[in-house]
Amino acid sequence: MSDAAIQAARDWLARFLEAWNSADLERVRDELHYPHVTIGAAGGQVVVAPTRDDFQTDFARLAEVEGWASSSFDDFTAITASDTKVHFETTFKRYKADGTVYGSGRVLYIVTERDGHWGMQLRSGVPDAALTAAREGR
């Protein structure tokens, strides 16, 4: 595996998490490559955002329904890598404003390099039961 690519993609993971936790959609969009593909938790939902304007995440709804305030990556493992692409398996947690964890899960990120910029091309995650319940407002 390419150590330089893995390090560059790890640096990207830190930038992405910072953008995500800022709840600033434009910053998150800056950290993605397009078309961007999201495969839903059940596997049957595939969302393709052809351009940055097509990518949507509703942070206000995330906070309202789940009680989300921030997320963390607890570990990430490079599964495979080339000079311009890294597949990461990542464990994440979601937190309420008081710092309590209300859910977690695992996600596969495929991070690619284009013109010197690393960004996420594809993600596919599987939430735990607690996060699934939070998403359903339970």
pLDDT for 104-137, tens place per residue? Answer: 999 999 999 999 999 999 999 888 766 767 677 6
Characterise 69 by phi-psi region: left (phi > 0), alpha (psi -120 to 50), beta (else).
Answer: alpha
Does residue 1 register a pLDDT over 70? no
Closest CA to 52 of 72, 25, 70: 25
The CA-atom distances, in angstroms, between 60 and each of 24, 57, 64, 91 are 10, 9, 6, 23
Does residue 85 register a pLDDT over 70? yes
Question: Omega of the bond prior to 50 within 30 degrees of 0, cis?
Answer: no
pLDDT of residue 61: 92
pLDDT tens by residue, 13-49: 999 999 999 999 999 999 999 999 999 877 678 999 9
Total count of residues recorded for the chain: 138
- Model pTM above 0.85: yes
CATH topology of domain 3-135: Nuclear Transport Factor 2; Chain: A, (3.10.450)
pLDDT of residue 29: 97
